[in-house]
Amino acid sequence: MLIAANWKMNGSADFAKDLASKIISPGGDVKVLICPPTPYLSAVKAELGDGIYLGGQDCHDQAEGAYTGSTAAGMLEDVGCEYVLVGHSERRSMCHENDKMVSSKARAAKEAGLIPVICVGEKLESREAGEHLEVVKSQIKHSVPDGFVSDDYVLAYEPVWAIGTGKTASIDDINEMHNTIRAQIGPGVDILYGGSVKAANAADILSLNNVGGVLVGGASLNADEFNAIIKAGILD
């Protein structure tokens, strides 16, 4: 079970340190992952308790070189990251990242000793056309590198229309998609759900068989709210 926070491009150094210091240690089988903005990684790392891991929000697919503004996976590892998000829908849409690039990033992450959290999810028009299962299956087929085994990655299913909208997918929709993904990728991989997860809906989502955690954006910026989500993971 992995309860992950994606702070996106929010906060300041003081905000990040304060928020990180308030996150509860989960214990047991539950892990917590915090993905702060890149400049605050080291400061946040210093505040994290036991069972709380650090992650980047993106990495480059090359190990080094003339890539102004980019961060190599090895650099994330260097400052204490264990994970990195790759292929988040905001990067797919705003930075034009496709499955092939996401796959290269996931491979670079693994080579640097990180666990990539490979993000997939359909847009509203795909869901309305009833093509959501096929779209996500195709994203997974092309975004998870060939040869990856279950310990190499975490998968996050985040329907684009549910991200930052307050509109969570229904329990039936989540169940259908996660069962489909499990059938495709097999046992052992944690499959996270993301998209408007909050304290009020986390327990129901986490109780589903093939949900192995959640990826939380907006609600992870509030310590009380995020800690309540961690507690829902501990109780599950």
Which residues make up the interface to ligand PGA (CB under 6 A)? 6, 158, 163-164, 194-197, 215-219
Question: Angle at Cα 180 formed by Cα 175 and Cα 184, nearest 5°?
Answer: 145
Please choose, from the candidates 200, 211, 219, the residue with its C-alpha nearest in 3D space to the C-alpha of residue 236: 211
Pairing of strands 154-157, 31-35: unpaired
Retrieve residue 111's tokens.
């080579």
Shortest-Cβ-distance residue relative to ligand PGA: 217
Shortest Å distance, C-beta 89 to ligand PGA: 7
Q: Taking a C-beta distance cutoff of 8 angstroms, is the pair 236, 1 a contact?
A: yes
Retrieve residue 57's tokens.
């929000």
Shortest Å distance, C-beta 62 to ligand PGA: 25
Instruction: Give the residue with the Cβ less far from ligand PGA, 122 or 158.
Output: 158
Q: Which of 88, 90, 122, 178 is catalytic?
A: 88
Instruction: Give the residue with the Cβ less far from ligand PGA, 74 or 88.
Output: 88
State the Cα–Cα distance between residues 74 and 109, nearest whole angstrom. 8
Please choose, from the candidates 135, 158, 154, the residue with its C-alpha nearest in 3D space to the C-alpha of residue 217: 158
Shortest Å distance, C-beta 40 to ligand PGA: 17
Handedness of CA 161, 170, 187, 131 (dihedral sign): negative
Phi-psi region of 70 (alpha: psi -120 to 50; beta: other; left: phi over 0): beta
Instruction: Give the residue with the Cβ less far from ligand PGA, 52 or 219.
Output: 219
Q: What is the dihedral of CA 134, 139, 141, 142, to 10 degrees?
A: 140
- Start-to-end CA distance of the chain, whole Å, equals 9
Q: Is 88 a catalytic residue?
A: yes
Q: Which of 77, 90, 122, 158 is catalytic?
A: 158
Shortest Å distance, C-beta 5 to ligand PGA: 9
Shortest Å distance, C-beta 66 to ligand PGA: 30
Instruction: Give the residue with the Cβ less far from ligand PGA, 62 or 124.
Output: 124
Instruction: Give the residue with the Cβ less far from ligand PGA, 87 or 218.
Output: 218
**Residues acting as catalytic residues:** 88, 158
